[in-house]
Amino acid sequence: MTELLLLVLLLPLCGCLFILTTKKDNINAFNVAVFTLFAVILLIVRLLQLQNMQMYDIEPYVIKWFKEYNAKLHFRADIYSLLLLLSVDISLLIGAVGLTVKQRKNKTLMLAGVYLAWTFGGLFCAGDMISFYIFFAAQLLPLFMLMGKFGNMRKNSSLSLFFIFNFAGIMLLLTAIILLYKFNQGNVLLTDITTIGLPRHLKLAVWSLISLSFIIRIPIWPFHYWISSISAGIKNPLVYIITVMLPLTGLYGFMRFWQYHIPQIVGSYVPVIAVFGILTMLFIAIIGTSHKDFLQKLFSYSTVYYLLFLLSDILLNGMYKLNIVYALFIFMIVNSSLAVLDLWSENACEESNCGYHGILAYMPRLSKIIAFFVLIAVGLPVSSMFWNNFVLISAIFKANFAVGLGIMISISMVGMALLYELYVMSDLQTNYPATEITVEDISDRKLAFFIGVIILVFLSFFNPLWFII
């Protein structure tokens, strides 16, 4: 199993090398990227099968990297990391499928996508703090490049802010790691990180730095600005999906560093995070309803849900991690599918000049698929997201009624916003064209792909890990 894990980590890196050797303006880079992602998905499924739902039974793979500093790098995988990695790779695959022919020929885009798949793999399988830091920080440059180059960015200041904020977060994490490293006289396993004996004031400093570095990525107010400003105007499905995935790294950081329990010293500050989290959720939900763009609403939806998962983790003291991961698994797939489907409809709009209102009326296939995914997103009980969100929100209500109420209001608002947008896209009455318009619907292959995704989502309703047992 360790060899399989190593393969999961190395395959995207090999994919990157192959993409580098492909010719410019050629579809080969896309083919390599899709093949790599598909192969990694199969490997993860095989790993999950071998692991058979038990936690921590994969022997860690250890690399003796820097003997002098006692820096051994550990890579291990459990159900959380494998499921999250699977959802990330499936989402990236969905994003790749969503690209136009011209976009598929972009070698840099493919390279960055596969490189990010590698960093996500490394991050989710990191067993110690140095390897976690390496992959956490390694994501910055490709993300920055993708957003700046392919996201139709016009605001350079927002892009600089994105880099500086994230760089600051990375520096904060590095400082915390250096302090922990010093007191442990070497690298620390993530499972042991809460047990290191530190003086009280230093412990507070270390955990504050770690929390801050993750919060910057989620993003809670006042760090929310950059991500909302840069996600606006991104019209490339793969880049949009990657941007929306960024908070997952912060959320995963919290889940891993506070694996078993929240350190006592920061436990008293959890209500503060909860207050900021709820305020951000409400604020983003209100902003989401006021936008007239589906992607903006989808962005608000995803941010609100990330905050829900964060609050579930920290308010419930890490007891519902598996529910969070099950919910996240479907959430990521649904989110990326919606982004791709919306961008397809927007492209069809542009090509046929029929206008955004009622576009789905001309595209019956796309209409059915997008409606299904919107309904899953708002809480249709056909996927594991519904059940697990239900469990999480119930537990939050039990723990803190006010927070539960805030969450319910926020998720209702973003859900309503998505439904309204679906209505606008389907409703032909208000904007009936004078002449007959023909819009090309999605192809058979794309339809088949999304039917496959729908089956995957639907099967998760009975058991999120149906492919194992």
Partner 1 sequence: MLEHLLYFSPLLILVFGAVLFMLLPQVNEEHTAYFKTARIILLISFILNIIFYNKDPLPDITASNRFVLLFQSMIYVCAFVILFLSRKWFVAMNIAGTHFCGNLFFVVCSAYLLISSTNLYLTSLAIILFMVGNFFMLGNENKKQEVNISRNIYGAMSVIIAMLLFISVYIFWQSNNNLSYADLRSLLALKPDDMRLYCASACIIISFLFLLNLAPLHFCFTETTGIMVLPVFTYFVLIPLIAAMGAFVEINIHVFAPIYEHLAFFYRVIALLSVGIGAIGACSGKNIHKILSCGAVFNFGIVFLLLYDFNFESLQITFSYMLIYLLSMSGVCASLYGFRIKGEYLFMLNEIEGAAQKRPYVSAVLCILLISLLGLPPSLGFVGIFAMLNNLAMQRHYYEIIYILLMFLVLAYAYLQIIMALYFYKSRESFDRADKGIYIAMMLNMVIMMIILMKPQYFSDYLAFMTESVFE
Q: Which residues is 63 bridged to in the sheet?
A: 73
In angstroms, what is the minimal distance from the CB of 186 to partner 1?
Answer: 10
Q: Which residues is 128 bridged to in the sheet?
A: 189
In angstroms, what is the minimal distance from the CB of 163 to partner 1?
Answer: 6
Strands 71-75 and 61-66: antiparallel
Within 144-173, the residues that bind partner 1 by CB under 8 A are: 144-145, 148-149, 153, 156, 159-160, 163-164, 167-168, 170-171
Closer to partner 1 by Cβ: residue 24 or 292: 24
Closer to partner 1 by Cβ: residue 35 or 69: 69
61 touches partner 1 (CB under 8 A): no
Closer to partner 1 by Cβ: residue 133 or 449: 133
140 touches partner 1 (CB under 8 A): yes
Given candidates 2, 28, 100, 108, which one binds partner 1 under the rule CB under 8 A?
108
In angstroms, what is the minimal distance from the CB of 297 to partner 1?
Answer: 27
178 touches partner 1 (CB under 8 A): yes
Q: Which residues is 189 bridged to in the sheet?
A: 128
175 touches partner 1 (CB under 8 A): yes
In angstroms, what is the minimal distance from the CB of 303 to partner 1?
Answer: 25
Inter-residue contact 19 to 142 (CB < 8 Å): no
Pick the stretch among 137-145, 240-248, 363-371, 378-386 that binds partner 1 (CB under 8 A): 137-145
138 touches partner 1 (CB under 8 A): yes
66 touches partner 1 (CB under 8 A): yes
Per this entry, what is the length of the chain?
Answer: 469
68 touches partner 1 (CB under 8 A): yes
Listed residue (146, 150, 89, 93) closest to 120, CA to CA: 89
In angstroms, what is the minimal distance from the CB of 306 to partner 1?
Answer: 24
Given candidates 133, 329, 344, 450, which one binds partner 1 under the rule CB under 8 A?
133
Closer to partner 1 by Cβ: residue 182 or 261: 182
Given candidates 3, 21, 67, 438, which one binds partner 1 under the rule CB under 8 A?
67
In angstroms, what is the minimal distance from the CB of 330 to partner 1?
Answer: 31
Q: Which residues is 71 bridged to in the sheet?
A: 66
Given candidates 174, 416, 428, 459, which one binds partner 1 under the rule CB under 8 A?
174
SS (H, E, C) the chain: CHHHHHHHHHHHHHHHHHHHHCCCCCCHHHHHHHHHHHHHHHHHHHHHHHHCCCCCCCCCEEEEEEHHHCEEEEECCCHHHHHHHHHHHHHHHHHHHCCCHHHHCCHHHHHHHHHHHHHHHHHHHECEHHHHHHHHHHCHHHHHHHHHHHCCCCCHHHHHHHHHHHHHHHHHHHHHHHHHHHHHCCCCEHHHHHHCCCCHHHHHHHHHHHHHHHHHHCCCCCCCHHHHHHHCCCCCHHHHHHHHHHHHHHHHHHHHHCCCCCCHHHHCCHHHHHHHHHHHHHHHHHHHHHCCCHHHHHHHHHHHHHHHHHHHHHHCCCCCHHHHHHHHHHHHHHHHHHHHHHHHHHHHHHHHCCCCCCHHHHCHHHHHHHHHHHHHHHCCCCCHHHHHHHHHHHHHHHHCHHHHHHHHHHHHHHHHHHHHHHHHHHCCHHHCCCCCCCCCCCCHHHHHHHHHHHHHHHHCCCCCCCCCC
Closer to partner 1 by Cβ: residue 167 or 390: 167
In angstroms, what is the minimal distance from the CB of 240 to partner 1?
Answer: 18
Pick the stretch among 53-61, 82-90, 175-183, 352-360 that binds partner 1 (CB under 8 A): 175-183
Closer to partner 1 by Cβ: residue 138 or 275: 138
Inter-residue contact 114 to 19 (CB < 8 Å): yes
212 touches partner 1 (CB under 8 A): no
In angstroms, what is the minimal distance from the CB of 72 to partner 1?
Answer: 12
179 touches partner 1 (CB under 8 A): yes
Instruction: Report how many residues bind partner 1 under the rule CB under 8 A.
Output: 34
In angstroms, what is the minimal distance from the CB of 245 to partner 1?
Answer: 19
Pick the stretch among 174-182, 295-303, 308-316, 330-338 that binds partner 1 (CB under 8 A): 174-182
Q: Where does this chain bind partner 1 (CB under 8 A)?
A: 65-69, 108, 130, 133-135, 137-138, 140-141, 144-145, 148-149, 153, 156, 159-160, 163-164, 167-168, 170-171, 174-175, 178-179, 181-182
